[in-house]
C-alpha cells in the first residue's frame, strides 16, 4: 500500500499478496494495526495528503491524484469527514500557525 497509493487496493488483493485468506488477513491486519486494511489505507492517504498540503503549492486536485483519489472533490469529502475541515482550510490554518 505504501509503495503505490494510487492503486485501487482491495482486501482480497492484499490477502493474496500476503499469501493468506481474505478473512485471516483482515483479522491479522486489524490485530496488528488497530484498524481495517482499507481504513488504514485511507489514513495513510490522508497523512500523505497533509504532507503535500503543508509542504508543496500543489492544488487539492493534484494532491488527490497523487494520493489515490480520482478528483479533488473525492479527497475533500474524505478529508473533511476525517479531519473536520476541508483540505484548503487545513492548509490555510497550517500556514497561519507557521507564520505566527
Could you give the domains of the chain?
Answer: 37-99 (1.10.10.60)
Evaluate if residue 99 carries a pLDDT over 90: no
pLDDT, tens digit, for every residue of 35-44? 999 999 999 9
C-alpha cell at 84: 473536520
Cα–Cα dist 37/39, whole Å:
6
Give me the pLDDT at residue 72, please: 97
pTM equals: 0.91
Write out pLDDT tens, residues 52-78: 999 999 999 999 999 999 999 999 999
Answer yes or no: are the C-beta atoms of 37 and 14 closer than 8 Å.
yes
Amino acid at each position: 500500500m505504501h509503495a503505490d497509493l494510487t492503486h485501487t487496493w482491495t482486501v482480497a488483493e492484499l490477502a493474496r499478496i500476503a499469501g493468506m485468506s481474505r478473512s485471516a488477513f483482515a483479522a491479522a491486519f486489524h490485530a496488528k494495526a488497530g484498524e481495517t486494511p482499507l481504513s488504514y489505507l485511507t489514513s495513510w492517504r490522508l497523512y500523505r495528503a497533509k504532507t503535500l498540503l503543508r509542504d508543496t503549492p500543489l492544488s487539492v486536485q493534484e494532491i488527490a491524484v497523487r494520493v489515490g483519489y480520482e478528483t479533488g472533490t473525492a479527497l475533500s469529502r474524505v478529508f473533511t469527514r476525517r479531519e473536520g475541515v476541508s483540505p484548503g482550510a487545513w492548509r490555510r490554518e497550517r500556514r497561519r500557525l507557521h507564520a505566527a
